Structure 1
């Protein structure tokens, strides 16, 4: 099997991703109700009782809405850094001390055995949360990076996620759609700022610096329902790549989408 994953949901209405190896399976974020998470997992034939742990990126509701309920129901350990725990504990309810795992930013944790081991390494990002992180997930030499909820792509983040086989990359909004959209200006300013969300253009520009011969697929994620469309996001990112001289054969590289209301197909990541 190697490493495979499905983005159960992605967007302001809720975020959750399953990553699996031969003998380990983790849930990254639980930003929908426990019932909805179970429904989405069932669509991908996942039993929540088989999860080894839940990892949390930050304490915003669209990342922890169902965390407490599903962690208690299935007696799952939950990993987050101390600052995130301090902010989210009042929202997720009681989590047993033996299940409350502190994972300092920049450190890693391993799940599973030698053949099917998953290693999750956190890294700092810029977002308006207590101490938000992204995660790189490794299975042997295979690397999957989750890169969402960040206001800008810093050099440190680039260094962390470069040489990924697959990227789940934020492409939150089209700048023009956001500027003329219905949000009040203070919200627009937050989204556009360095602690907000990556635009389609910013995602494309970042990808130009992250692309290597190793990059197989990019999933555009955390799209705004009000200020973006998947076809537009793909078109913008593709145009930027082509303008920078990146031309791809269909079987060598793909830009794929994620959804706010349904899971992506299982994607098995193999080192080329």
Structure 2
């Protein structure tokens, strides 16, 4: 396969995704400790010293906790937009100037034979953005940490073969749960997180007649369950006419266990 990936960790406690082509190896976010991310890499038989860089989506701790230590330990360049750099630099520790790179929202960069396009999302961070990764005729779209899926996002990700897609919470579990109302309001708002139902509805607008794999990501530890997220998205897509299991396949992600390293 020309483009491969593993969701190393996904959830409220930390997020990291690995993407590789034949000549590039990139880490998207590092929201766990350096040690835990190294353990995740060991499970998929990848050595972090072979990485070509870290792409940062936004400055929240569940996305940057291990960025500084990994960058220093393996001499890795870090790519983020200007506002994210300003918001996260005090959390990363000392990063030499030669390891600091800007990747602005809405731009496309070439990493070896991989084309990476960034796009903005609606989240309560300085300037959050996510990415698509393309090589040859394969395309991977990564979309989490957004309160809603805009028409712009739908357009950028339309032709993807594989999606790592936010399915953060079940709305009933969230509403009836232990969180204070201020936190519930944040999660449910336009700068919060996408629910299971909204994930299914957004995907129904994005998917084409081509086969697609969907990895449901960033599930809340307190307000969701894997089976519930998968069942809800399955039902929503089926109601929109998609054949689950053949045309569209759904996969889980986990806060601690990496998904297999597979082709897009």
Distance 2:111 2:59 in 1: 23
- Backbone CA RMSD of aligned residues: 0.9
Q: Partner of 1:169 in structure 2?
A: 165
Report the 3-state secondary structure (helix = DSSP H, G, I; strand = E; otherwise coil) of the residue aligned with 2:155: helix
**Structure 2 residue 81 is matched with structure 1 residue 81:** yes
Displacement of 1:251 in angstroms is: 4.2
Report the 3-state secondary structure (helix = DSSP H, G, I; strand = E; otherwise coil) of the residue aligned with 2:98: coil
Report the 3-state secondary structure (helix = DSSP H, G, I; strand = E; otherwise coil) of the residue aligned with 1:136: strand
Report the 3-state secondary structure (helix = DSSP H, G, I; strand = E; otherwise coil) of the residue aligned with 1:228: coil
Q: Partner of 1:70 in structure 2?
A: 70
Distance 2:206 2:100 in 1: 34
The one of 228, 231, 244 aligned to 1:232: 228
Q: Partner of 2:257 in structure 1?
A: 262
Q: 1:5·1:17 contact (CA, 8 Å) conserved in 2?
A: yes
Deviating beyond 3 angstroms after TM superposition, the runs of 4 or more aligned structure 1 residues are none
Give CA deviations for 1:160-184 in whole Å, capped at 9, x if unaligned: 1111100000000000000010100
Distance 2:101 2:201 in 1: 36
Report the 3-state secondary structure (helix = DSSP H, G, I; strand = E; otherwise coil) of the residue aligned with 1:98: helix
Distance 2:182 2:26 in 1: 36
Displacement of 1:239 in angstroms is: 0.7
Aligned runs of 1:189-200 on 2, under 5 Å? 189-200=185-196
Distance 1:42 1:261 in 2: 13
Q: Partner of 1:153 in structure 2?
A: 149
Q: 1:164·1:215 contact (CA, 8 Å) conserved in 2?
A: no
Distance 1:198 1:100 in 2: 31
Q: 2:164·2:217 contact (CA, 8 Å) conserved in 1?
A: yes
Aligned runs of 1:77-116 on 2, under 5 Å? 77-112=77-112
Distance 1:104 1:246 in 2: 35
The one of 204, 209, 213 aligned to 1:208: 204
Q: Partner of 1:118 in structure 2?
A: 114
Q: 1:145·1:166 contact (CA, 8 Å) conserved in 2?
A: yes
Displacement of 1:30 in angstroms is: 0.5
Aligned residues: 264
TM-score if structure 1 supplies the norm length? 0.95
Q: 2:211·2:246 contact (CA, 8 Å) conserved in 1?
A: no
Report the 3-state secondary structure (helix = DSSP H, G, I; strand = E; otherwise coil) of the residue aligned with 1:94: coil
Displacement of 1:253 in angstroms is: 2.6
Structure 2 stretches lacking a partner, 5+ long: none
TM-score if structure 2 supplies the norm length? 0.98
Structure 1 stretches lacking a partner, 5+ long: none
Distance 2:72 2:109 in 1: 21
Q: 2:81·2:127 contact (CA, 8 Å) conserved in 1?
A: yes
Q: Partner of 1:247 in structure 2?
A: 243
208-217 or 155-164: which moved more? Answer: 208-217
